[in-house]
Amino acid sequence: MENVLLIGNDINNTNQGKSWNDLLGELKIWSGQGNHLTEDEEKVPSSLIYERIALTTIKSKNKQISESGLKQKIATWAKNIAPTNIHQELAKISGSHILTTNYDLSLEKALCDKFTEKNCTNKGQIKEQKYSIFRHFEVKKKKVWHLHGSLDKPNSINLGYEHYSGYLQAMRNYVATRPQYTKSINGDRSLIHILKNKGELKVQSWLDLFFTQNIHIVGLGLNFVEMHLWWLLTYRARKRFLLGSDIIKNSITYYYPKCFDSCSNTGQKIQLLKACDVIAIAVDGGIPANKDHKYCRETYYQNLFKIILK
């Protein structure tokens, strides 16, 4: 069984100006809806801030600004994210698969410094236009799966509630009921049907990996707004408890900064993860926690690498 990393946007926070709040602030300015996010706005889930910006844009009926324009702006923002030493180290750790919720190509560039947008050829069994059940690139025999879309196809960028909901429906069809894809190499059988009946499962989606390989989640906040990922965790746990660990054999491990233990939301999240049969590991961030729960990312990731590589 292979170890597979699921990597979130925290690794990009080492690049100044590349946090989610920075992105949403840029969208506000570009669409003429104000300046960077206020302190109150930063307390609102990013998906809802995006929906407010998008809906205000649509309502204005300004032909020069559209939601497709917002997503193109996000793609342009993502193009400017460069890989750091953290990207390099993570790329080395992973086996033949890397999962990421990021739109940018930093992990691909970490694997091959000559990788550019021109090299973006979606190798998915199904060439999706909006959702990302199959979307991935291949770099030096590694597959990088972009769960939330990628910058080469701005329409695939998943950020708002409408997109999340449609994506969840497509995920549930693939995993639990019946895939709506005529070119699926596993036929019209759902993922759970194949596992339950001990059939041959050919990996064609990142969802297949989530039920068959050991997943290590790093740099991902797993906020409760991530409805599709929480559904996936809860559904997998239900089936694992009902069908048995001889059917769903893999493990899922979630890593987070130890200083976050002092945050009440973290306690609730960890309890939920444990209920979902997820292993939660607190990693030392190198400095004492303060009221903002800040930590030294360089130290945190170096400590995390040591744990994963044991």
Q: How far apart are CA 273 and CA 236, in angstroms?
A: 12
Claim to verify: residue 195 and residue 292 sit in the same structural domain: yes
Q: Are 161 and 247 within one domain?
A: yes
DSSP reduced 3-state for 3: strand
What pLDDT does 58 receive? 86
* pLDDT band, very low/low/confident/very high, at 14 (cuts 50, 70, 90): confident
Spacing of C-alpha 134 from chain mean position? 14
Task: Please state, in angstroms and rounded to a whole number, the distance separating the CA atoms of residues 47 and 52.
Answer: 9
| pLDDT, mean over the chain | 89
pLDDT for res 287:
63
Q: How many structural domains comprise the chain?
A: 2
Query: Residue length, the chain?
Result: 310
For the segment 270-295, what is each residue's pLDDT rounded down to a tens digit?
999 999 999 999 998 866 555 555 67
Q: Indicate whether 92 and 133 sit together in one domain.
A: yes
Domain interval for residue 176: 3-14+82-308
pTM of the complete model? 0.92
**Helices H, strands E: what count in the chain?**
11, 7
Mean pLDDT of 226-237: 96
Let me know whether 194 and 212 are in one domain: yes
